[in-house]
Amino acid sequence: MKGLSWAYVVRNILARKLTSALTIVGMALVIFVFATVLMMSAGLKKTLGSTGSHDNVVMIRSGAQTEIQSTLDFQQAELLMTLPGLATDAQGQPMISRELLVLINIPRNHQAAMANLIVRGTTLRGVSMRPQVSLVQGRMWEQGHAEVIIGSALSRGQGGIKMGDNLHFGQRDWRVVGVFAAEHSGFDSEIWGDEQQMMQAFQRNAFSSVLLRLRESSAYLALAAAAHANSRLNVDMAREDDFYAAQSEQLARFINVLGETISIIFALAAVIGAMITMYSSVASRTREIGTLGALGFTRTTIVMAFLREALLLGLISGGLGLILASLTQFLEIRTTNVQTFAEVVFSLALTPWIVVKVVVFALSMGALGGALPALKAARMSIVDALRANV
| Mean pLDDT, the chain, whole residue set | 80
Compute the distance between CA of residue 85 and CA of residue 219 in angstroms, rounded to an integer.
5
Mean pLDDT of the 114-121 span: 85
Confidence of residue 154 (pLDDT cuts 50, 70, 90): confident
> Which residue in 249, 251, 317 sits closest to 35, CA to CA?
317
Whether the pLDDT of residue 201 is over 70: the answer is: yes
What are the boundaries of each domain within the chain? 6-49+249-387, 63-233
Amino acid identity for residue 304 in this structure = M
Q: Is 80 exceeded by the pLDDT of residue 147?
A: yes
Average pLDDT over residues 185-210: 91
- Count the neighbouring beta carbons within 10 Å of the beta carbon of residue 172: 13
Under 8 Å CB-to-CB from 15, ≥6 apart: which residues? Answer: none
Q: Choose between 192 and 368: higher pLDDT.
A: 192
pLDDT tens sequence across 297-332: 666 776 777 778 778 888 888 899 999 999 988 887
Cα(134)–Cα(128) distance, rounded to whole angstroms?
9
pLDDT at residue 24 is higher than 90: no
Q: What does the pLDDT read at residue 211?
A: 93
Neighbours of 194 (CB within 10 A): 22
| 3 state DSSP class of 44 | helix
Read off the DSSP letter of residue 207. Answer: B
More confident residue, 156 or 188: 188
The rounded Cα 308 to chain-centroid distance in angstroms is 34
pLDDT band at 1 (very low <50, low <70, confident <90, very high): very low
* pTM given for the model: 0.75
Predicted local distance difference test score (pLDDT) of residue 364: 83
Instruction: Write down the pLDDT at residue 376.
Output: 64
> What is the rounded radius of gyration, in angstroms, for the C-alpha atoms of the chain?
30
pLDDT reported for residue 297: 60
Pick the residue with more confidence: 307 or 374?
307
Beta-sheet pairing, 114-122 with 172-181? unpaired
Give the residue-averaged pLDDT of 225-242.
88
Q: How far apart are CA 115 and CA 59, in angstroms?
A: 27
